[in-house]
Structure 1
Amino acid sequence: MSAVEPGTRLANRFRLEDRVSESAGATLWKAIDEILARPVAVHTFSPEFPRESEVVLAARAASRLHDPRLTQVFDAADEDGTAYVVSEWVTGDSLLDLLEAGPMDPERGAVLVAEAAEALAHAHEAGMCHLNLTPGRLMWTEGGTVKLLGVGVDAAILGLEAESPEDSQRRDAEGLGRLLYAALTGHWPGEDDCGLPPAPLDDGKICTPRQVTAGVPGYLDTIASRALGVKRGAPPLETPAAVAEELAQVPRPVPAPASTVPPSVELRAEAPDTLNIRPVAVPRPQPARPPGLFSRFIVTIVVLLVMAVVGIGAWSLGKSLGTEASPSTSAPTTPGAEPAKTVALTPAGAIGFDPLGDGEERNELAPRAIDGSYGTDWHTESYNDAKFGGLKKGVGLLIDLGRDARLTKVTVDFGDVPGGAAELKLGAEPTPEALTTAASTKEAMGKVSFDLGGSEPSRYLMVWFTELPPYQSRFRGTVLDLEITATEE
């Protein structure tokens, strides 16, 4: 049994509510972060659990991973004899759920695995691995994104170890091959019981996806077989990065995969699948339906308008206070007076902007472009060609300046990869029709200064990519940071 009970508060902040699953001394809880008022997942461990320190160290290492497709770890500690790990609470459909009615559309399933492969490649670059890739660990969330659960933490809980970095890369690449095989066939090509029927054999060898399911594209059959090491005459794929590179040819973006799970079912477990978990009954409210494209766009606009109202109020109050404090400091403009001074502007906020698509473009990364650090960045999604595959005319980073301003210069650091093109758009409202092009560059590389010479008063600034530079085997635009100056009002 767990050493803690419902109602226990950890770190004077995380209140345990529902015991979701438990096995071999490891217990998963749904808890509430009382400071941020949000649900979180918490692992606790009984006094007999033998690897508490290993799990805590692994979780702390995983907390430094920032790929949004990996489960975020918020806290990990061993205090007063109680070890715990606090991470993101993920709801949605696992790959296992999506396969309940049989194989997925091949390219939809491949896109899920491609996203997981890219995220896992980033984890390996940071020295982290998974070693427990099963259909229950790959999620399609209610928000319409991919999440890979348990990087680093699963292996520590289960006591899984790799002999070398090369061995961990090979094992995770093979795990990705199993996930792709499962998505294509609805069968599991592994010895462990993950909830799917085992892959059929032909003369003692695993049948290829095309032998199991009709309509599997040849290139996906080859990728899955190479990752599993069963493709004769073709070199195996031995790293997650290699799997990601091969899956980069899968057409994207694609519509969200249709869930095969009854509407009343919601994924609650975030414990490793091979722990022989004993589920504990938890009340399951009906999950919210993911918002449509138009609805998400409207929500984005509403958020920006709220930011505008707050910003105008703050600016007006500050200006009023300044006037009261020094009523005699303003002087009328006279002929021959010195030119207006320029000041640096600090933006009030930023979002990714995709008005011709789903309304947003890597919103979670947007604050990195205005944080004053060149060590962080906002970037677009990765596309199959520089012109967005003909699906849209462009995407951008929309910046709320916090007030109307006459801009004199905007310097954008696009990174060191040549090949992109971008425009600078200004406007009084955060809508496509209100934003007009003020400047452009055919070489969006390095630091590019746009001299605006005192623009019309504008509240919003957008860096709009019309062509993307290459990124690995695909195309992606990047903004490391911006410097904005305006005339002093």
Structure 2
Amino acid sequence: MSMSTVEPGTRLADRFRLEDRVNESSGATFWKAIDEVLARPVAVHTFAPDFERQHEVVTAARAASRLTDPRLTQVFDAADEDGVAYVVSEWVSGESLLDLLSAGPLEAERGAALVAEAAEAIAHAHEHGLAHLNLTPNRLMWTSGNTVKVLGVGVDAAILDIADSLTEEERAQADAEGLGRLLYAALTGHWPSPDDDCGLPEAPLDDDHYCTPRQVTAGVPGYLDTIASRILGLRKSVEPMDSPMEVAEALAEVPRPAPASVSTLPPSVELRSEPVDTIGRVPMPPMIHRPAPRRSPMLSRFVLTVVVLLAMVVVGVGAWTLGKSLGTEPAVPSAAPSATAEEGQAAGKPVEVKIAGATGFDPLGDGEERNELAALAIDGSATTDWHSETYGGPDFGRLKDGVGLLLDLGKETRLTQAVIDFGASGGTVELRTGASPEPDSLKTFLTRENVSGKVTFDLNGSSATRYLLVWFTELPPHNSGYRTMIRDVKLMGSKD
């Protein structure tokens, strides 16, 4: 099949059926298509016969497929064979920043929160050698699932042929400035550049320099005005930022929108995937402040011990003083319990269990479920995650009964508690234990429906186990399909 014959109804790789031609630009055509195997919409790029960068685009897409930040568009397939080149990626439903600005600037911290999420995602891409280089308001999406998604990392730069001529430092600088322009746009509704036809009016000038956000829009907080001005060099007296990581760190304290399931949206809301002309308004939820880092249990015990010792000393001194005034000197209580008592207390306390390894578990399918992401669920960071494939229904498109994450504890361990961060995913989960990773040896200990956020499971009463399986039997909505996720797992067990 020649790319000159590509038209609605064409099937690629015997599974991706092209349906709607969305737009064409720079020799690339963007389609909405259907993955007939998983019964879900996908986005597809195809290329004109005279497009000379097919190989570069496919290579960039394959590199982008290995990125794990959920705020970056997921690439499902990319091929360049027999004269046919295409890239298949996630179909993102929602509104772009350009759409959100159609009624004027956003509330300052809401707009900054979107850009903060994008900055963290772009910084992740740069850590893995990929850049965006085309950060415009229609590439930043607020999805129908109330999450941020950045479109086109790696692929846009390859299509436009703007990456190969830049050094690593120049790519970092370009994306930092792109994030600065997005922040400026969110705060003012204007675009601080004459070169990009992005759909927004150009920012006003003051003595041949762009005005700062506060000069354009009243009520912009001073710290956000300063950050935008630093990134874009609007104030010569402050040092500029020259990497996405610096931008992400500067915006780290901006309160973030609370994520919500797509099922909470009003049924009348009409959703879309960029770019389509007519849409409905997807509401943004309330902002939440990121909690301060939790004090570690060891530190808490230390502080408590110090307080108790001080109290005992105060009581002892008071008693001694009172006794002296009465002519007696009572014995001062011992300031610390005996070593034997301390050991006896510690023996009954649970301790954190080190997880030896994690595996994406799909014994009813092809054997593994996004196994390349499994280690991200036990890396101690809530900004990375393991997630399942995306399916056409909550019942896995009737392809199987479940998938999960298998945790290897390294040895037989008696667990007392599991704390699992599911993000905002939801769904039904079972915790299964066993001495072997074979499905028949893993027995269900408990079941919990509609899990989301950080959930604590009481495992007291469970038998000693080598493996713990977090097994999903029902998936929550995710964009236009269904998938689940685990951000972090912490296990506690008895010391013996």
Q: Same fold (TM over 0.5)?
A: yes
- The residue type equivalent to 1:39 in the other structure is P
Tell me the SS of whatever aligns to 1:100: helix
Structure 2 match to 1:16: 18
Structure 2 match to 1:194: 198
8 A contact 1:186–1:196 mirrored in 2: yes
Tell me the SS of whatever aligns to 1:242: helix
1:243 to 242, 247, 250: 247
Tell me the SS of whatever aligns to 1:190: coil
Cα distance in 2 for residues equivalent to 1:348 and 1:126: 22
Structure 2 match to 1:36: 38
Tell me the SS of whatever aligns to 2:98: helix
Tell me the SS of whatever aligns to 2:102: coil
Q: Post-superposition shift, 1:267?
A: 3.8
Structure 2 match to 1:388: none
8 A contact 2:32–2:41 mirrored in 1: yes
- The residue type equivalent to 1:14 in the other structure is F
Structure 2 match to 1:269: 274
Q: Post-superposition shift, 1:375?
A: 8.8
Tell me the SS of whatever aligns to 2:7: coil
Tell me the SS of whatever aligns to 2:92: coil
The yes-or-no answer on 1:233 pairing with 2:237 is yes
Tell me the SS of whatever aligns to 2:33: strand
Deviation string, structure 1 residues 37-73 (Cα, Å, up to 9, x no partner): 1111100011111211111111111111111000011
Q: Normalising to structure 2: TM-score of the pair? A: 0.60
Tell me the SS of whatever aligns to 2:256: coil
Q: Post-superposition shift, 1:230?
A: 1.7
- The residue type equivalent to 1:115 in the other structure is E
Tell me the SS of whatever aligns to 2:20: strand
Report the identity percentage: 59
Structure 1 stretches of 4+ moved >6 Å: 284-292, 346-350, 367-372, 459-462, 480-485
Cα distance in 2 for residues equivalent to 1:88 and 1:154: 15
Q: Normalising to structure 1: TM-score of the pair? A: 0.61
1:180 to 176, 180, 183: 183
- The residue type equivalent to 1:129 in the other structure is A
8 A contact 1:56–1:77 mirrored in 2: yes
Unaligned runs of 5+ in 2: 261-267, 287-354, 362-368, 385-417, 423-427, 436-444, 472-485
Structure 1 match to 2:108: 106
Deviation string, structure 1 residues 77-135 (Cα, Å, up to 9, x no partner): 11221211111111100000000000000000000000000000000000000110000
8 A contact 2:94–2:274 mirrored in 1: no
Tell me the SS of whatever aligns to 1:17: strand
Q: 1:55 to 1:428 in 2, by over 3 A?
A: closer
- The residue type equivalent to 2:27 in the other structure is G
Q: 1:377 to 1:16 in 2, by over 3 A?
A: farther
Deviation string, structure 1 residues 238-270 (Cα, Å, up to 9, x no partner): 0000000000021234588xxxxxx77644436
Q: 1:430 to 1:25 in 2, by over 3 A?
A: closer
Cα distance in 1 for residues equivalent to 2:63 and 2:237: 39
Cα distance in 2 for residues equivalent to 1:371 and 1:118: 18
The yes-or-no answer on 1:396 pairing with 2:398 is no
- The residue type equivalent to 2:145 in the other structure is G
Q: 1:84 to 1:431 in 2, by over 3 A?
A: closer
Structure 2 match to 1:164: 167
Q: Post-superposition shift, 1:232?
A: 2.2
Deviation string, structure 1 residues 419-457 (Cα, Å, up to 9, x no partner): xxxxxxx9665589x977568xxxxxxxxxxxx7849xx
Q: Post-superposition shift, 1:380?
A: 2.8
Structure 2 match to 1:216: 220
Report the RMSD for the aligned CA atoms in angstroms: 4.2
Q: 1:242 to 1:137 in 2, by over 3 A?
A: same
Structure 2 match to 1:75: 77
Cα distance in 2 for residues equivalent to 1:92 and 1:240: 24
Structure 1 match to 2:96: 94
The number of residues matched between the two structures is 341
Deviation string, structure 1 residues 321-360 (Cα, Å, up to 9, x no partner): xxxxxxxxxxxxxxxxxxxxxxx9x99999xxxxxxxxxx
- The residue type equivalent to 1:396 in the other structure is I
